[in-house]
Amino acid sequence: MGIINYLVEINSFYSWIAYNPLSVQAQSLWHLLMNINNRCSLRVQQNGRAWRVYFTAANTVINNVLGFTNKMQLKRARDELIEAGRIEYTCGTKSQCGTYKMIPFDGRVREGEAEGEKVWITVSTGNDIEGFVTNPLPIPLQNREHYININNKYKDLGSGGMCECMYDEHKEKKLFTAEIQKMIRECWGCSPTEQDYTKALGLITKYDRRERKTYLDSDALGLLEYAFRQSAYYKACNWRYIDGIIQRLRNLGITTADEAEAEDVRRDIEKEGRI
């Protein structure tokens, strides 16, 4: 058993944020809350200090440190982190500060108890890897029945609900960017920018109402590729046109490239029947 690793959490945050954009204010708030959580850690005999699961932070202190000029700036940043699954928050009262709970990235971290308080502890899995990130995806992996890897194969997570298998985030990123690069070069005849990668990821997740298991979803990428081919054919090489195509298909209940092509055939037959 060990204590939470601050450096692992920081490195994991930047791996995660590459595909989960946050505002500058939300990023700053996350870092400040991590610092406060670290500074109010509990002294324990065996392991030195342990991070408390729940801790308080005064709004006035946060506003002063981050330079927020009104309470809505803090609320928006906090709500953004809550929605992203990075913190939990309970409102305080007039005489008591609100209570925060950081959501660790390290899959080995569990809630434990020390000196009568809830603390974060790191449990050895027998195959520990420094910097192991459990949830760099657009939607966290907690409370899911399966995890889909880059080869589109399923691995059972068991009843624990937290992915204990190794997730190669760097290979996922490389494959994702390669797919988008290929689409843009072949269909638009230019090299993609960082903004293109961000827009592509946003479109893949925008219209999918299911719990997403990975941004390398073959059906979603296939539908995006279909939209790129359509944009090239009609010489409308822009993201607004791509978005419009995918939105129209989603409204028709179409989620794969095969279904989209079948719809094209159906429309062509219908047009020929009217001529």
Position 275 pLDDT exceeds 90: no
Give the separation between CA 201 and CA 204, rounded to whole angstroms: 5
pTM more than 0.75 = no
Number of Cβ atoms within 10 Å of the Cβ of 69 = 7
Q: What local confidence, expressed as pLDDT, does residue 47 receive?
A: 56
Position 138 pLDDT exceeds 60: no
| CB-based contact 167:134 (threshold 8 Å) | yes
Is residue 214 packed enough to be buried (19+ CB in 10 Å), middle (13-18) or exposed (0-12)?
buried
Position 144 pLDDT exceeds 90: no
Question: Residue 42's beta-bridge partner residues?
Answer: 50
| CB-based contact 217:206 (threshold 8 Å) | no
Position 235 pLDDT exceeds 50: yes
| CB-based contact 258:223 (threshold 8 Å) | no
| CB-based contact 91:79 (threshold 8 Å) | no
Q: What local confidence, expressed as pLDDT, does residue 34 receive?
A: 94
Q: What local confidence, expressed as pLDDT, does residue 62 receive?
A: 94
Each residue's pLDDT tens digit, 48-101: 778 899 999 999 999 999 999 888 999 999 999 999 999 999 998 877 899 999
Position 133 pLDDT exceeds 60: no
Question: Model confidence at 171, in pLDDT bands (50, 70, 90)?
Answer: low
Position 160 pLDDT exceeds 70: no
Amino acid in position 35? N
Across 218-240, average pLDDT: 89
Position 152 pLDDT exceeds 80: no
Place of tokens 């624990």: 160
Give the separation between CA 183 and CA 164, rounded to whole angstroms: 33
Is residue 56 packed enough to be buried (19+ CB in 10 Å), middle (13-18) or exposed (0-12)?
middle
Amino acid in position 151? N
Position 208 pLDDT exceeds 60: no
Position 217 pLDDT exceeds 80: no
Position 242 pLDDT exceeds 90: yes
Average pLDDT, the chain: 77
